[in-house]
Chain A
Amino acid sequence: MRQLFHAEGILNRDFVGQITYTVCLEKPCRAMDIAMTFDRQHFSEEDITPEMEESVLLEIREKYGLSPDPCELRRMMLQDMKTEIHLLAMMNDTFIGCIHRQLTERHMHFENGLATEGCLPVDRFEGVLQVTVLVFNVIMDGTRYTLSVSGEEDQDAAPV
């Protein structure tokens, strides 16, 4: 497969929303792989400051009436709080897949009438591919993500 598109970005803490990349395919493709990675999914011990603990405690007390002890709060921040980013793809405005598993590296692979779970098989990619990075939660500034689209182009086809 040949890489058709590559993008990288840096997300700030608390961003919620999506970033959509539109790829106009120069040639039809018989197979496609869409890959996304991101880092800083969870806090490390060093990331957590007393101010952050206080802020989270206030938030969950106000929203949910929760008052965990300091040890439990730390566990919740280390294990339960996470950066959550998903990946959605549309071909010519038609849904072809979404990967919802909590992975920091995920692929949508389409080939020979098969597709990664979460995706619908596509025999031929021709037209406009839209890949959307769905950002549900970013817990740390400077969270990096990458997106790449690779395709096996149909060499016999004339350019679109």
Chain B
Amino acid sequence: MISKIGTIALQRISNFFYALGFFFHVLKETLLFLKRKQVGFKVLVMQIFFTGVEAISIVSLLALALGAVIILQGLTILLQFSQTQYIYIILIMIITKELGPILTAFIIIARSGTAIATELGNMVVSHEIEAYTAVGINPVSYLVVPRFLGVTLSLVILTLYFNFFGLFASFLITQLFISIPFDEYFDNLLSVLNLSHILSSLIKSLVFGMIISIVSSYQGFKVRYASTEIPQVVIKAVVQSIAFCVIADVMLVILFNQF
């Protein structure tokens, strides 16, 4: 019993260091990516298209709905206390600082994280990864780095878009229910918004993008023999990505509050 626990513990420690090694290997290959003029540039463009461009519609819908709901719900409550001026700080705090980055990350986990783990897993099973190695193409450099860069870059841009759309386009929706003068809304919003809010959002999305791409790629590569392993690694990729993003979110909030 004790030896079994010991074996599992040792395996976990070994897996942790292996994952850490994978992370640093990806970072190293990322630095070398542009220098090498790798053939993986096309993969990067495709990844940005899939993760960034094709996700715009769902991100727009979520940002629009979230912004509208906050304004409608917030104003209903704040009106009872005659404190409607706080709606702007609530909007910024919720959309820009908190839900913008994390909800966009969740969308990317659902779309791109699952796709990356599935695609790489399938490639392992069909020996396509071995075929890259046989040709001399480093699978991390050719397959993981473009996904790492593509997902991270797309997530940063999508988060900025989410913030913009959530804050500004939702204004139009609310006009259907509550009439807020255009000038008043934007003046008040911009007076609350400052650089630290945008920076916080950007840093979070950068970290989340790195987490999602690395975790999903790592799990995809963990497939060994059969396609039946693929759903299992996809589930792990989703669960671990969510867990690490939430933990990173809390840590970043604590860090930001120190400054």
A in complex with B: no
